[in-house]
Chain A
Amino acid sequence: MSERYLILDDGTVYRGQAFGSPATTFGEVVFNTSATGYQQIITNQIYHNQIIVFSQPSIGGYGIDRASYESIEPTCKGVIVRDVADVSTNRQRRLSLDEFLKIQNIPGISGIDTRALIHKLRSKGTVKGSIVDPVKDLAHAFDQLNAIVLTNQQVSQVSTPKAYPNPGTGLNVVVVDLGLKHGILRQLSQRNCNVTVLPYSCTAEQIFDLDPDGVILSTGPGSPADLPESLTSMISEVEQRIPLFAIGLGHELFAMANGAKVKPLQFEHHGDNHPILSIITDEIFYASQGQGYTVDRDSIDRNKMLTTHIDLVDQSVQGLRHRDFPAFSVQFFPDGAPGPLESSELFDEFIEIMTTRMER
């Protein structure tokens, strides 16, 4: 294994070993504390343009599993880990993580003191980083890193350009793809839904034309503030007519469409061990999270929306519901993948809302 460096925009240099693609990469460095599911995390489009640090010390233990893709072509910018297991055989013949990242052109670096790195990220907030070849003089690499401007057009890059179906025999659901996680489709498939996935640029009219029983706004990367206003106005129109379920980035947009503000989170949530309180039932559960932004609690118009879920670690808003329409949203990922499945029943709730409306 050849040597590579991880450099950060504060001037830090970490030495490690290369795996995956040999390309040079830039991105925002974020850490994830999940204990399982490295493949789901790497293939989650919310990490578009980001370099993922795994707090879990060793990943790659079962190679690449055919049922664990959250997108077919991951768009994260790199993987940082203490130790990568080069394992390519298990139950089936599988790609190793190293082979997979080579194919996907994603660089990785192992042998990093990720605990030290996470301590740094905790104290610094957003940090830009780059995985580079080891050269004597890193000044150039740092110049490049500092010069790089990361795009804020993430959603347009990961959303599907064209509508496509995921046929089923049950309820008709439109999923608006903001950087969709496959977990959402998997949950809908399990419930037999007949799904049409639309690009993020779709209009309310296009949705109405499909006459769906319900609409899901998907997860996705980046800040909702960088998205065109047409999205929030689409939401305002749709929520009045069709049951709506919004997740992750979709949740942030749903909040904005109803007058709330979204702000960057000082300590981002990437993991699956935060306790989340469901206010209506007063029950606590765990869910997968991946968020750099949060709905500002004070900006919520209480006459318009109810707060339904909060994160008990930092009291951040994790769920909202419209007072007047069957429209609700969660910040966390109820489909798990990776992560606990306790909240997957939100999909059942959504199905039941659609069914009740149909029966009426």
Chain B
Amino acid sequence: MDTMAMKRALTRITYEIIERNRGVEDLVIIGIKTRGVFLAQRIAERLKQLENVEVPVGELNVTAYRDDVHQLDNDSKLPGKPHFEFSLEGKKVILVDDVLYTGRTIRAAMDAIMDIGRPKRINLAILVDRGHRELPIRADFVGKNIPTAQNEKIEVSVSEIDEEDSVKIVNGK
């Protein structure tokens, strides 16, 4: 996936969000750190362009909620409860991440969100779905399905922090 393809995927996801939600009312977008946040911001920018409405964007660090990260010692500084500038009560949340793999990150994200509020609905937008789910989780908006082998890795780059916009399949060692 190159810059153009990535741009198109985000554009299409944005339109699909509008289609599915019949507009942008009560919408909030939450990006999962790190790259999901930038993707969330880009979707919000697009919505702003189209509808002239600022859709709130939040950043979510889910490390504390992951079931595969164990508290090794008390010193490790896991972030606490997430905090948003806006309320989640009754909102339609679009959760955004770059890659959907086992589903554990998303489960953690949903836990985190539920921890602080009770949104009306949560939808999931994903740039790349690479398969190999370990939990019954499914994305509502998918940029691209890229079937992968277990030993492969998907590398997503975003121009905000990386050199370029791209999605690459990297062979694991």
Q: Are A348 and B8 CB-contacts (below 8 A) given A280-B46, A306-B50?
A: yes
Q: Is A281 touching B46 in the complex (CB atoms < 8 A)? A: yes
Residues of A within 8 A of B22 (CB): 323-324
Query: Counting CB contacts under 8 A, is A353 at the interface?
Result: yes
Which of A322, A348, A356 neighbours the largest number of chain B CB atoms within 10 Å of its CB? A356
Is chain A's binding surface mostly helix, strand, loop or mixed? Answer: mixed
Q: Are A282 and B49 CB-contacts (below 8 A) given A345-B8, A349-B11, A352-B12?
A: yes
B7 to chain A, nearest CB (A): 6
Interface digits, A312-340 against B, CB 8 Å rule (1 contact, 0 not)?
00000000011111101000000000000
Residues of A within 8 A of B12 (CB): 349, 352-353, 356
Total interface residues in chain A, CB < 8 Å: 20
Residues of A within 8 A of B72 (CB): none
CA distance A116 to B107 in the complex (A): 70
Query: Counting CB contacts under 8 A, is A143 at the interface?
Result: no
CA distance A316 to B37 in the complex (A): 35
Interface digits, B106-124 against A, CB 8 Å rule (1 contact, 0 not)?
0000000000000000000
Q: Are A356 and B18 CB-contacts (below 8 A) given A281-B7, A306-B50?
A: no
Query: Counting CB contacts under 8 A, is A359 at the interface?
Result: yes
Write the chain A residue with the least CB distance to B139: A360
Query: Counting CB contacts under 8 A, is B75 at the interface?
Result: no
Interface digits, B123-154 against A, CB 8 Å rule (1 contact, 0 not)?
00000000000000000001011000000000
Q: Which of B11, B46, B142 contacts A359 (CB 8 A)?
A: B142
Q: Is A356 touching B50 in the complex (CB atoms < 8 A)? A: no
Q: Is A324 touching B19 in the complex (CB atoms < 8 A)? A: yes
A359 to chain B, nearest CB (A): 6
Is chain B's binding surface mostly helix, strand, loop or mixed? Answer: helix
Q: Which of B49, B142, B145 contacts A281 (CB 8 A)?
A: B49
Interface digits, B94-105 against A, CB 8 Å rule (1 contact, 0 not)?
000000000000
Q: Is A279 touching B49 in the complex (CB atoms < 8 A)? A: yes
B53 to chain A, nearest CB (A): 12
Residues of A within 8 A of B8 (CB): 345, 348-349, 352
Query: Counting CB contacts under 8 A, is B23 at the interface?
Result: yes
Write the chain B residue with the least CB distance to A321: B15
How many A-B pairs have beta carbons closer than 8 Å: the answer is: 49
For chain B residues 1-59, which have a beta carbon within 8 Å of chain A? 4-5, 7-9, 11-12, 14-16, 18-19, 22-23, 45-46, 49-51
Residues of A within 8 A of B7 (CB): 281
Write the chain B residue with the least CB distance to A323: B18
CA distance A186 to B119 in the complex (A): 47
Q: Is B5 touching A280 in the complex (CB atoms < 8 A)? A: no
Write the chain A residue with the least CB distance to B144: A352
Write the chain B residue with the least CB distance to A324: B19
Residues of A within 8 A of B16 (CB): 326, 356
Residues of A within 8 A of B51 (CB): 306
Q: Is A359 touching B49 in the complex (CB atoms < 8 A)? A: no
Residues of B within 8 A of A353 (CB): 12
Q: Is A306 touching B49 in the complex (CB atoms < 8 A)? A: no
Residues of B within 8 A of A308 (CB): 50
B52 to chain A, nearest CB (A): 10
A335 to chain B, nearest CB (A): 17
CA distance A280 to B5 in the complex (A): 15
Q: Is B19 touching A280 in the complex (CB atoms < 8 A)? A: no
Residues of A within 8 A of B14 (CB): 280
Q: Are A359 and B145 CB-contacts (below 8 A) given A348-B8, A349-B8, A353-B12?
A: yes
CA distance A308 to B8 in the complex (A): 14
Residues of B within 8 A of A280 (CB): 11, 14-15, 46, 49-50
Q: Which of A306, A325, A348, A356 contacts B142 (CB 8 A)?
A: A356
CA distance A67 to B78 in the complex (A): 63
Which of A321, A326, A352 neighbours the largest number of chain B CB atoms within 10 Å of its CB? A352
CA distance A328 to B5 in the complex (A): 18
Which of B9, B15, B18, B144 neighbours the largest number of chain A CB atoms within 10 Å of its CB? B15
Given contacts A280-B15, A281-B11, A345-B8, 9 further A-B contacts (CB under 8 A): A279-B49, A280-B46, A306-B50, A326-B15, A348-B8, A352-B9, A352-B144, A353-B12, A356-B12
What are 10 A-B pairs at a CB distance below 8 A? A279-B50, A280-B15, A280-B46, A323-B19, A324-B19, A326-B16, A345-B8, A348-B8, A352-B144, A359-B145
Residue ranges of B at the interface with A (Cβ–Cβ < 8 Å): 4-5, 7-9, 11-12, 14-16, 18-19, 22-23, 45-46, 49-51, 142, 144-145
